[in-house]
Structure 1
Amino acid sequence: MRNAGEHLSFDHALRDRVRRRGGDPLLTYYAPSSGVRIELSPRTFVNWVDKTANLLVDELDLAEGDSAVLPLAVAHPGHWTTLVWIAALWQVGVLVRGPGAVVAAGSPDLVVTGPEEYEHDFPGARALGARAVVACSLHPFGLGFPGPTSPGVLDFGADVPSQPDVYIAAPATPGAPLWQDSERTLDWAGVRDAAGSLLAADGTYGRRTVLPTAAYPTLLTALVGPVLGDGSAVIIDGPVEDRAVAEISAAERSEA
């Protein structure tokens, strides 16, 4: 395992993990209310990330220096689709604006939302004034909405499968800002250092149970920490009783 500080970007760290332990679990996502369990290896996760990055560049014309607001990450911080989106945006070099981010440059270039507004044509997402809106159904297997979205709203589940499996564009510039919220603006070094504080003394992360909270800490515990520390996260999403957390953790052999 490399020292976390040797990785020049999150994408670099993720692909290093794929090369060395690509078939191991990375994310195991549980939604107890619906009985869903989804497991993604580093290799599978990267495939989703690359397809999403190609969608960003080829279909939505986003580029390094653009910004995105993710109501998806506020409403569903621990969903595997949310984590795919953040990794893809970082791969392209798009700043993710979290809650309370300074909007000095006006409207974001992209809004990524969940299914909550589907029946009403996503009025909240449209109100943010972005030039592109993407909606995610959060179907357990990544499928699209049951019916068409209206013009101007792209259905992630319907449009991403046809994207190329490999992202070949130039990597984003090191040092570009990746995350901004009311408390922080971070480039990769800042994100890496924050997640690095979660690792054990030997630089490992282990297999940990993650109960999603706010977007930023969940991002660190559910994705960045496991990638840097050769570990994995068992994400238990939604209201859940302590007994269920203990049972899932025991079944998955994860540290609660």
Structure 2
Amino acid sequence: MADNIARVFADAIATDPTRPLLTWYDDASGDRTELSGATLANWVAKTANLLVDEVGLAPGTPAGVLLPAHWQTAAVLLGCWSAKLTVIDTPGEVDVLFAAADRIDEAQSWSADERYALGLAPLALPLRQVPPGFADYVVEVRRHGDHFTPQPGPGPADAPLLARAEARAAELGIEAGARVLIDADRYPDPVDWLLAPLTRAATVVLCANLDPTRLATRRTTEKATHTLP
């Protein structure tokens, strides 16, 4: 396996960038969003370009992420890791902070030079009202380039994260090339719902507010080969 997260992501989509890589459901809102590897890579590149070209961040810079399991969170995290940033999720001093709109009060305890809010709305719609002191991530990120070339080698946190992801993939029984259905509320750690599947070049059906009565049908519809226990 590659020694850095950006390479693991690239390898996971290399065989067929057009296949559905991450399919998102929210059974509370009825939202369904399907991203191919190529589409997610586009969001990741735009995020990395935002961080490097606009914000001017260097490898190792701390980035705060206050986001739930979500397809936009995947773009933010992979963008940060492509830029070789160190992602943290506990309050502290960071150079950039990404926060869900419903966690803005919590975000106030963080010290950050640049702040981006995410509404996590269907179709990646902009926020109706941007919180003071924040920029709207989906508006800002769209202005950036579709391609990003990561610096070679791992970021400061890549090795421990990939080691954890490899271990979790084994523990959770994720096989190479699987299509994995994941309850986002039960597995909120991105090591479980994002990195572990990527280390196996697996695709993900990520479900928030999962309605158990829809589970069997969804497994069939999405051709899931594995459901996390």
| TM-score class, shorter | 0.7 to 0.9
The alignment status of 1:194 with 2:194, answered yes or no, reads no
The 2-side partners of 1:31 and 1:191 are apart by 27
Shifted more, 158-167 versus 107-116: the winner is 107-116
Two-structure CA RMSD over aligned residues (Å): 2.3
Q: What amino acid is the match of 1:135?
A: A
The 2-side partners of 1:199 and 1:32 are apart by 24
Deviations for 1:198-247, whole angstroms, at most 9, x for unmatched residues?
5769x51511210023542xx23322233222321111112x33212222
Deviations for 1:75-131, whole angstroms, at most 9, x for unmatched residues?
x2x2111111111111111111134xxx7xx512222101115xxxx3432331111
Check whether the contact 1:175–1:187 (CA below 8 A) recurs between aligned residues: no
The 5-angstrom pairing of residues 52-131 of structure 1 reads 52-72=47-67, 76=68, 78-99=69-90, 107-116=93-102, 122-131=104-113
Deviations for 1:139-177, whole angstroms, at most 9, x for unmatched residues?
222232124443x31210111111000113524x42612
The alignment status of 1:132 with 2:105, answered yes or no, reads no
The alignment status of 1:209 with 2:181, answered yes or no, reads yes
Check whether the contact 1:196–1:228 (CA below 8 A) recurs between aligned residues: yes
The structure with the greater share of residues assigned to strand is 2
The 2-side partners of 1:19 and 1:190 are apart by 22
Structure 1 residue ranges, 4+ long, deviating more than 4 angstroms after superposition: 198-201
The alignment status of 1:19 with 2:5, answered yes or no, reads no
SS in 2 for 1:21: coil
Structure 2 counterpart of 1:176: 156
Check whether the contact 1:93–1:176 (CA below 8 A) recurs between aligned residues: yes
Structure 1 counterpart of 2:204: 233
Calculate the TM-score normalised by the size of structure 1.
Answer: 0.79
SS in 1 for 2:40: helix
Q: Structure 1: 5+ residue runs without aligned partners? A: 179-185
Calculate the TM-score normalised by the size of structure 2.
Answer: 0.87
Q: What amino acid is the match of 1:95?
A: T
The alignment status of 1:221 with 2:206, answered yes or no, reads no
Q: Structure 2: 5+ residue runs without aligned partners? A: none
Check whether the contact 2:81–2:155 (CA below 8 A) recurs between aligned residues: no
Structure 2 counterpart of 1:8: 3
Q: How far 1:189 moved relative to its partner?
A: 4.1
SS in 1 for 2:120: coil
Q: What amino acid is the match of 1:67?
A: P
The 2-side partners of 1:66 and 1:148 are apart by 25
The 2-side partners of 1:195 and 1:231 are apart by 13
The 2-side partners of 1:174 and 1:21 are apart by 24
SS in 1 for 2:215: helix
Q: How far 1:30 moved relative to its partner?
A: 0.4
The 2-side partners of 1:206 and 1:165 are apart by 28
The alignment status of 1:156 with 2:156, answered yes or no, reads no
Paired residues, number: 225
Check whether the contact 1:31–1:236 (CA below 8 A) recurs between aligned residues: yes
Q: How far 1:21 moved relative to its partner?
A: 1.4
